[in-house]
Amino acid sequence: MGAAAQARPMTLEASVVTEPDDLAELFRRFRLRAFHFALQMLGNREDAMDVTQEAFLRLHRHWHRRDAGRPVAPWLYAVVRNLAIDSIRKRAVRKEEDAEAAPVEDFRPGPEILSEQNELRAEVWKAIGELPAEQREIVILREFHGLSYAEIAEVLGAPHTTVTTRLHHARERLRKRLEGFL
């Protein structure tokens, strides 16, 4: 039972020991993470690539204005998140214009973005997709990207307590929803 040894917080700093010197290095280290975050938010490779591209180009334009004393990764995550939300909004507008399309609330990233599927993983991903958007993004940042609560709070521009509470509620939902699988 793992209760005896409480897990140490897994953070971005732990996985990225030194700060990238320039954008090229940031790109090399974070291109896959940025793409996967966008993909997990959007559920579509093409849209995810567009968001990744725009995020890095935006960082490139504003690189000289960054605060050198602060870690750059949460900035990148925040930009990807904002662009992904914009992309979802644009998609919602397009769907509203199309009377045949499903309502916007039905948007859920499907299991096709998982490269190796099995029943349990597909079910867990489906359950994550069913979470409210503000809980889903926190679960994604925590579980798939290893951000600490402080880092997630920075990405979201939300208080630390909000992150703690939302993650607790999200996990309770997932636990109950997946009771027969876990």
Of 10 and 133, nearer to another protein (C-beta) is 10
d(CA 132, CA 146): 20
Region from 13-21, 66-74, 75-83, 173-181 binding another protein, contact rule CB under 8 A? 173-181
DSSP 8-state code for residue 38: H
State the Rg of the chain over Cα. 17
Q: Binding to another protein by residue 45, rule CB under 8 A? A: yes
Residue with tokens 């096709």: 112
Q: Binding to another protein by residue 162, rule CB under 8 A? A: no
Interface residue with another protein among 12, 30, 39, 154 (CB under 8 A) is: 39
How far, in Å, are 15, 106, 131 from residue 138 at the CA level?
Answer: 18, 19, 10
Q: Quick one: which of 122, 142, 123 has its CA closest to 37?
A: 142
Region from 51-59, 67-75, 76-84, 98-106 binding another protein, contact rule CB under 8 A? 51-59
Q: Binding to another protein by residue 21, rule CB under 8 A? A: no
Q: Binding to another protein by residue 141, rule CB under 8 A? A: no
Interface residue with another protein among 143, 158, 162, 173 (CB under 8 A) is: 143
Q: Quick one: which of 89, 80, 91, 74 has its CA closest to 50?
A: 80
Using the CB atoms, write b or e for 102-113: b if 16+ within 10 Å.
eeeeeeebeeeb
Residue ranges in contact with another protein by CB under 8 A: 1-4, 6-10, 23-24, 27, 31-32, 35-36, 39-40, 45-46, 48-49, 52-53, 56-57, 60, 112-116, 120-121, 124-125, 128, 142-144, 148-149, 164, 167-168, 171-172, 174-175, 178-179, 182
